[in-house]
Amino acid sequence: MKSKLVKFRIRAEEKEALSEAADRAGVTMSELLRRAGRAAAAGRFAQRGVLREFVLIRTAANRLATLAETHHADPAVTACIKATAEHLRSIAGRHLADLR
């Protein structure tokens, strides 16, 4: 499929922010914008706050799993904590994967 050129206007500081974001991601600005456009078109566009919440859920799950490994814990409690941690990881992982 032949490529098409897309032109649009943005402020200089917006262009600089996009350029820096592309550099951090290790891609060109064009690729960064293509990815963002594809994600938005597929309904996978999320605000930074939403992404932060999913990362916090995953972090909480990892902490719960660590707590479950304490040596003096009741086996039933340990199993419950591990199951909860796995459910939280699954939720966060599913949503984070959808947003990539």
What is the full DSSP assignment across 37-84?
Answer: HHHHHTT----HHHHHHHHHHHHHHHHHHHHHT-TT--HHHHHHHHHH
Give dist(CA 49, CA 55) in Å, integer: 10
Specify the pTM.
0.47
Spans of all domains in the chain: 12-41, 48-99
Q: Could you read off the pLDDT tens digit of each residue along the chain, which spans 100 residues?
A: 788 999 999 999 999 999 998 998 899 999 989 988 887 787 766 666 777 788 888 888 888 888 777 767 788 888 888 888 888 888 888 777 765 5
Give the separation between CA 12 and CA 61, rounded to whole angstroms: 41
